[in-house]
Structure 1
């Protein structure tokens, strides 16, 4: 369950990063603030049970990947082979951290 909190936190991270860049009215800014709160709340809750270093690395890796993909898919930013390669390396590192982390306390 705690790993799902990290995934959800990364999803909210994508939302607030996009919100910081593209918000133009009070409703969008309010949504951005709520996404910031939920993102860090879920990250902190998961970090109480899971190893902090692994938790944060996975959070940042998924968030970075999500923002890059949203930039490409939604906002039309260019995506070259170098970015794709680096995203795969990042995701491989995140998966490796997940597999290497003991699951004793926080599954």
Structure 2
């Protein structure tokens, strides 16, 4: 269960970064509110997950999910470049996240 909470926290991190971009420097009220809800849920879920998962592992996985998810969102929604080396390092990051889970005692 803590790993599911951590994954959800990471997905809400993708949500809050996407909402941050769409909020247009907090001028768009709807996206600004979505940002606040997403960031709150992300941190609450992260906090719950670190009660069981070691904080170093949890934080690395949380930021990794957020980084990968945000990079993919940027490519899909905001037409950011999807060049070979960028994709290579995204896959390397995914491998690192999976590796951290694999060696975690929890």
TM-score by structure 2 length? 0.93
Alignment partner, residue 48 of structure 1: 51
2:33 is aligned, of 25, 30, 33, to 30
Alignment partner, residue 11 of structure 1: 11
Could you list the structure 1 runs, at least 4 aligned residues long, displaced by more than 4 angstroms after superposition: none
Alignment partner, residue 80 of structure 1: 83
How large is the Cα RMSD of the aligned pairs? 0.9
> What is the CA distance between 1:69 and its match in structure 2?
0.4
Tell whether the 8 Å contact from 2:20 to 2:31 is kept in structure 1 after alignment: no
Structure 2: gaps of 5 or more residues:
none
SS in 2 for 1:48: coil
CA distance in 1, matches of 2:52, 2:45: 12
Structure 1: gaps of 5 or more residues:
none
> What is the CA distance between 1:74 and its match in structure 2?
1.3
Tell whether the 8 Å contact from 2:2 to 2:53 is kept in structure 1 after alignment: yes
Alignment partner, residue 96 of structure 2: 93
